[in-house]
Amino acid sequence: MSARAVVRHETWTLEPDREPDAEPVTYAMECAVCGESSDASEDFADGQSWVLKHCGRNPSHHTYRERIARPWRTWRRG
């Protein structure tokens, strides 16, 4: 008896996870000069406050990166 494979093509969709039990979207800011970063928070204003404090302590640090963690989900389309 020979082995037999069955292949079925299915269409999948990818979208941000907005379900009630989804992980929250979090924001953090990172200094591009020294690599130090704020803690991740659901409130973007926390990262902004961190940047202002950080550049106050480090006047030559003018460049920052925003880090966003957004949950995504996949599902099969019928």
- % of the chain beyond a pLDDT of 70: 97
Q: How far apart are CA 28 and CA 47, in angstroms?
A: 5
Structure tokens at 32: 């591009």
pLDDT recorded at residue 8: 79
pLDDT tier at 78, thresholds 50, 70, 90: low
Domain residue ranges in the chain: 24-76
List pLDDT tens digits, range 31-61.
999 999 999 999 999 999 999 999 999 999 9
**CB of 63 within 8 A of CB of 54?**
no
Q: How far is CA 76 from the centre of its chain?
A: 23
**CB of 44 within 8 A of CB of 1?**
no
Threshold 0.95, pTM exceeds: no
Please give the average per-residue pLDDT across 18-42, as a whole number.
98
Q: How far apart are CA 54 and CA 56, in angstroms?
A: 5
What is the pLDDT of the chain when averaged over all its residues? Answer: 94
